[in-house]
Structure 1
Amino acid sequence: MLTTILAFLVALGILIAFHEYGHYWAARRCGVRVLRFSLGFGKPIWTRTDRRGTEWALAAIPLGGYVKMVNDANDPEHGLAGTLKPGETFDEQSVWRRFFIVVAGPVANFILAAVIYIGLGMYGVQEPEAILGQPEPNTPAAQAGIVAFDRVIAVNNEPIQSWPELGWALMDPIFSGDTVDLEVESGGLVVHRQLNLSGIAQQADATDQNPLALTGLIVNPGPVRLGQIMSEGAGQRAGLQEGDIIEAAGSLENPRVLDFIEVISNHPQSPLTLRVLREGSRFDVVVTPDLVKSADGFEIGRLGVGVGEQIPMVVVRQGLLGSVTQAITRTFSTAWFSVKMLGKMVMGDVSLKNLSGPVTIADHAGKSAQMGLIVYLNFVALVSISIGVLNLLPIPLLDGGHLAFYVVEMVRGRPAPESWIVTSQKAGAAVLAGLMMVALLNDFTRLLS
């Protein structure tokens, strides 16, 4: 729980800081006087005033932030009448400059995501190879002729190196119900498989299942790899060691973890031959699983070893140019996919159950942090893009709402009437409250289920 809270707060702090700094930087470039830069809402718990007179504050409620600029030189709240230079108030700026200041916040979120992706691309990320397992019958993958150990090398002529890249490449086609062309290495040959994804998104909505899993595409689990060897267990007595790869158990070749566990369970106090791969050498080991009673009273065999999957991995690394290109493409593609998903929710083509709130985001923050820094950074980049997209929605009270009124001003040649702004802000507040309620309901439904 502590890891989840800390990971969530750190991610939130980074995202808010970049967003608000975008507004601050743009305001300073336009010569606007900035009174306060605050991370969080409510009473400040720490403040510092710089030489320009801007107060930098850390507030008690870490669920947002704001940049307070001087709007009106004659506003008595600020007590700055007669001390400001021409052009130091927000209201004095041209509509193009005001647009620039407001849009700079969401743009900063996109830049942050791109910078993270550039760094990860140059550093290199170890990811599972796009080697597929045997699909379930009647799934699109099975109907397309996909078989175990097929390696995907391209989706619609776009090269694929890893399983996560395959997932990203298929997300948009899944929710669009498209047919995609998979180029795969199968049995030593390069062949093309047509994957029909029609209806997958609707099936995922109806069953609350992972849409990628419903396609039938699964990563090949790889061979069984032994983990911790328990003291005085049957595995230790037989000479098994941590890191051993199990290539066969009795007559079962290339067992998966669940199959291996079942074989061991079915051989209590019965000798069983395992073919073991250790540091390049293959040999047979005869084990006799101990007899134990399961929680429901059945007698089963137990080896006394930890087991996991030895999934083949590949290091995905790009040079500077490749990393920049890939980062820009991924940031834009993710943002555009988010926009299309929101549009489908509005049209009723995608369920509102896909909307997530702070509880789900916090949960994913904690899980990604536990999986390592690289996974956590990918999570931060993804949420940063989501915040950028959300703030660009033309809903009053959000940045996008202000931008919409600036567009109206550009078209009309004068600001929108005050009555329009007041009415739309009330409507925007109602829309945001409704979205937050739906998101929180989805969060707690997932939590309870």
Structure 2
Amino acid sequence: MNLLHTLLAFMVALGTLVVVHELGHYWVARLCGVKVLRFSVGMGRVIWSRRFGRDQTEWALSILPLGGYVKMLDAREQDLGDMAPEDLKREFTRQSVWRRIAIVAAGPVANFLFAILLFAGLFMHGIPEPVPKLRAMAEQTAAYQAGLRGGETITAINGEAVHAWSEVRWQLMQNVLEKTPARFDVESVNRGPSGGKLLNTVTLSLDGVSSQDLEGDFMTRLGLSLARPPAILGKIMEGPAMQAGLQKGDLILDVNGATVRDGLALVELVRASPGKPLTLHGMRGQSEFRIAVTPDALTDNGQTIGRIKVEVPLAPAMVIVSDPPWTAIAKGAQKTWDTSVMTLKMIGKMIVGQVSWKNITGPITIADYAGQTAKVGLVSYLSFIAFISISLGVMNLLPIPVLDGGHLLYYSLEILTGRPVSERFGEIAQRAGLGILMTLMLVAAFNDIVRLMF
């Protein structure tokens, strides 16, 4: 069932993005007067088709689901000897270079516009996000050295307001790529007699994090993690906790004399103590208590962990971030632009060896992410589709022959030289481009298999 769910989520996402991309080519081709012969979702042999419209364009489904294409009237692919004069005027290569550029660029542009619309819709609907409130951090971390202690809420980074944890991560990724420190505006509770809130600005050094670390949990390395609820016990199940006399609502203050700062710290302590007696000190209402409990030893993924059979709330505080329509559209456009720039920066750093090629993913990993986000909910799934749409747009604009960007490179050379590139040059470039594309596909497939195995 999980496999079926993942495949369905992947096919819906991929099919939607292919249709959007090819509709971009189709609509602009029609606007430019070019005759469209076939609109296919999928590649290879056609398994279903119907013809519609004045031109009797064939709308088809093909056997290979990865991709699609728009087939136009093109002298390079068809014999036009018996073609009517009015149709010859609608042949692709007879169009001006600017029209050809518009038709080719329309596919990636459609992906970007689709991402903007998806993000705008999500921003208008409101996205539940963790509040960027910090958990206490270790003294040796960069966050502690910068003056943070935990409990602060990040309100802005480098002068840009942030409202959610994902925005903090995004801003820091850009700082890491640009190799610049991050300036945090933070807000904390004044624990003095006057109460209220304290505002402060700290500068976080990112020297200990490289662009290669972005594929992992680089924020934890910096000492930045989400604040968690206090260690208040929830439902008590049959097991060590119930036998020891622990009750729902108990607040755990320390374990074996070590302070428990939140629920996650309690879970970590218990998991690290299989079969070892623990003395829990806490509050039950207005009364203190000390209770000894020994966690059961259980095996989880080949590792022995401790468990006392009690629920501990760990969910961070959440906020709904929503915007009016025009603001949402502007934010959607900005998000699409920032993501595109980030993608190009990552590609550039891969080429020069500053970022691992392990970041290249193929259809298996994308399908896995599609299934995971679909399980989380519609908001996560639509966000995933928006990011993949941007990636599809960016990748298609790369100046690699066989991709849209390769054709745009040809037309740019035609503008500069005043004549089309030669057929011989085009053939050599196509072969080289196909080789590059196949290499990237093999790397992506290898990375996918490694992720599945390890």
Shared fold, TM over 0.5: yes
Judge which range, 209-218 or 125-134, deviates more.
209-218
Structure 2: stretches of 5+ with no match in the other structure: 190-196
Contact 1:110 1:331 in 2 (8 A): yes
Residue 164 in 1 paired to residue 166 in 2?
Answer: yes
Judge which range, 429-438 or 22-31, deviates more.
429-438
User: 1:126-165: per-residue Cα shift (whole Å, max 9, x none)?
Assistant: 1000001123443322221221111110011000001011
Of 225, 230, 243, the match for 1:218: 225
| Matched residue, 1:174 | 176
Residue 335 in 1 paired to residue 340 in 2?
Answer: yes
Contact 2:296 2:307 in 1 (8 A): no
Residues 41-440 of structure 1 mapped to structure 2, 5 A cutoff: 41-52=43-54, 53-72=56-75, 75-76=78-79, 81-82=83-84, 84-187=86-189, 188-201=197-210, 204=213, 209-224=216-231, 230=237, 235=242, 246=251, 248=253, 254-260=261-267, 262=269, 275=283, 293-295=296-298, 303-440=308-445
Instruction: For residue 436 of structure 2, give the secondary structure of its aligned residue in structure 1.
Output: helix
CA 1:272 to 1:259, structure 2 compared with 1: closer, same or farther past 3 Å?
A: closer
Instruction: For residue 68 of structure 1, give the secondary structure of its aligned residue in structure 2.
Output: strand
Judge which range, 399-408 or 351-360, deviates more.
351-360
Judge which range, 218-227 or 229-238, deviates more.
229-238
User: 1:302-361: per-residue Cα shift (whole Å, max 9, x none)?
Assistant: 653333413111110111121111111110011011111111111222222222222221
| Matched residue, 1:3 | 5
CA 1:115 to 1:267, structure 2 compared with 1: closer, same or farther past 3 Å?
A: same
Structure 1: stretches of 5+ with no match in the other structure: 277-281
Contact 2:228 2:262 in 1 (8 A): no
Which letter does structure 2 place at the counterpart of 1:214?
A: R
Which letter does structure 2 place at the counterpart of 1:61?
A: L
Contact 2:280 2:293 in 1 (8 A): no
User: 1:37-74: per-residue Cα shift (whole Å, max 9, x none)?
Assistant: 11111223332211231111122211100011111299
Instruction: For residue 229 of structure 2, give the secondary structure of its aligned residue in structure 1.
Output: coil
Contact 1:224 1:246 in 2 (8 A): yes
Q: C-alpha separation between the residues in 2 aligned to 1:374 and 1:18?
A: 20
Which letter does structure 2 place at the counterpart of 1:363?
A: D
Contact 1:268 1:300 in 2 (8 A): no
Of 13, 22, 42, the match for 1:40: 42
Q: C-alpha separation between the residues in 1 aligned to 2:76 and 2:84?
A: 8
**1:225 CA displacement:** 6.4
| Matched residue, 2:194 | none
Q: C-alpha separation between the residues in 1 aligned to 2:47 and 2:383?
A: 31
| Matched residue, 2:23 | 21
CA 1:73 to 1:43, structure 2 compared with 1: closer, same or farther past 3 Å?
A: closer
Contact 2:346 2:355 in 1 (8 A): yes
Contact 2:250 2:282 in 1 (8 A): no
Q: C-alpha separation between the residues in 2 aligned to 1:389 and 1:300?
A: 45
Q: C-alpha separation between the residues in 1 aligned to 2:186 and 2:436?
A: 46
Judge which range, 83-92 or 315-324, deviates more.
83-92
Q: C-alpha separation between the residues in 1 aligned to 2:333 and 2:250?
A: 40
| Matched residue, 2:193 | none
Judge which range, 366-375 or 224-233, deviates more.
224-233
Judge which range, 264-273 or 353-362, deviates more.
264-273
Instruction: For residue 309 of structure 1, give the secondary structure of its aligned residue in structure 2.
Output: coil
**1:269 CA displacement:** 10
| Matched residue, 1:279 | none
Judge which range, 164-173 or 257-266, deviates more.
257-266
Q: C-alpha separation between the residues in 1 aligned to 2:340 and 2:19?
A: 20
**1:261 CA displacement:** 6.5
Q: C-alpha separation between the residues in 1 aligned to 2:222 and 2:305?
A: 35
Contact 1:225 1:310 in 2 (8 A): no
Which letter does structure 1 place at the counterpart of 2:42?
A: G
CA 1:134 to 1:255, structure 2 compared with 1: closer, same or farther past 3 Å?
A: closer
CA 1:370 to 1:285, structure 2 compared with 1: closer, same or farther past 3 Å?
A: farther
CA 1:9 to 1:133, structure 2 compared with 1: closer, same or farther past 3 Å?
A: same
Instruction: For residue 138 of structure 1, give the secondary structure of its aligned residue in structure 2.
Output: coil
Contact 1:267 1:289 in 2 (8 A): no
Contact 2:155 2:162 in 1 (8 A): yes
Instruction: For residue 182 of structure 2, give the secondary structure of its aligned residue in structure 1.
Output: strand
Q: C-alpha separation between the residues in 1 aligned to 2:295 and 2:76?
A: 81
User: 1:263-313: per-residue Cα shift (whole Å, max 9, x none)?
Assistant: 69799999967547xxxxx666979788674247xx999653333413111
* Identity score, percent: 40
**1:262 CA displacement:** 3.7
Q: C-alpha separation between the residues in 2 aligned to 1:154 and 1:101?
A: 41
Judge which range, 189-198 or 123-132, deviates more.
189-198
**1:397 CA displacement:** 0.3
Contact 1:235 1:287 in 2 (8 A): no
Judge which range, 175-184 or 304-313, deviates more.
304-313
